[in-house]
Amino acid sequence: MSAARTGRDMTRGLRRPGAVVAVLILLVLTAWAVAPGAFTAHDPVTGIPAERLLPPGPGHWFGTDHLGRDLFARTVHGTGLTVRAALLAIAVALGGGAAIGLIAGFSGGVLDDVLMRGIDVVLAIPGLLLSLAVVTALGFGTVNVALAVGVASAPVFARVMRSRALHVRHAGYVEAARLAGSGPVAIVLRHVLPNAAGPVLVLAAVELGAVALAVSSLSFLGFGATPPTPEWGALIAEGRDYLAVAWWYTALPGLVLAAGVLAAGRLGRTFEAEGRHAR
């Protein structure tokens, strides 16, 4: 009876209209990232000089840029880089942050104090400035930007992981496991990690959009992908110089980015609400 019920509970939130639209948007973006060539016949890198700065129309859905390149093609081909950078950043934040949080939360005492003080310090530096410092040290490029954003996002994961680990550590069943004779490693692996992982993974979903935004912001500032390569932030930056004559240059790729971030955030919050409900 109940197994079926919990299964239904977990997917119920996904059936709301907003979540359905969010899933559709994310599916389209994933498809663009995996197989951009299937969605556009235009070349994203070499343009046709005769077709410079054409407004959106049947031939060029998003119009063309100052070199006569199809902007829809550039947006579609830029998806992969942006998504991969965001996923790399999330992986860095999740891996590093969760490890620190788990150690702090489960060890307690002085180690916990020191680690959390460190996290407080990193949180005191505005995220974008911290990312900029890392980029300064590592050099420019999409991978470095992703690493930098990941480092700046890690403290949030550390905090959530720690608070979950602490919560679970003090739960009755962990005490019962101790009394039953289980050692600390067994308790972490069997009780703490499985019960703490859910909220942290949900946080990863929630943060994915924010991280994609941060990566794009750094690219927009010119620290990410180098010019001919299509990437959303860089793409929009190129359009800056043509604001007065080609509104589509910045507006349409920006809309795609906003839609993606909004969809990721919507889905993350759905998971978050479901997780809270299930607990």
Residues 226-255 that bind another protein (CB under 8 A): 233, 236-237, 239-240, 243-244, 247, 250-251, 254
- Interface residue with another protein, options 121, 189, 227, 228 (CB under 8 A): 121
Q: Which stretch binds another protein (CB under 8 A): 31-39, 40-48, 64-72, 210-218?
A: 210-218
Residue 67 or 221: which CB sits closer to another protein?
221
CB 72 within 8 A of CB 232: no
- Interface residue with another protein, options 27, 35, 91, 186 (CB under 8 A): 186
- Interface residue with another protein, options 56, 68, 96, 118 (CB under 8 A): 118
Determine the Cα–Cα distance for residues 237 and 230; give it in Å rounded to an integer: 11
To 5 degrees, how large is the angle CA 236–CA 217–CA 208?
115
Determine the Cα–Cα distance for residues 56 and 8; give it in Å rounded to an integer: 44
Determine the Cα–Cα distance for residues 126 and 192; give it in Å rounded to an integer: 31
Question: Which residues make Cβ contacts (< 8 Å) with residue 161, sequence separation at least 6?
Answer: 97, 98, 100, 101, 102, 105, 196, 200
The end-to-end CA distance of the chain, in Å, is: 18
Q: How far is the CB of 229 from another protein (least distance, A)?
A: 18
Q: Which stretch binds another protein (CB under 8 A): 58-66, 79-87, 95-103, 111-119?
A: 111-119
Contact between 74 and another protein per CB under 8 A: no
| Residues 145-174 contacting another protein, CB under 8 A | 152-153, 155-156, 159-160, 163, 166-167, 169-174
Site string for another protein, 3-42 (x = CB under 8 A): x--x------x--x--------------------------
Show contacts of 236-242: CB within 8 Å, 24+ apart: 238/65, 238/66, 239/65, 241/66, 242/53, 242/65, 242/66
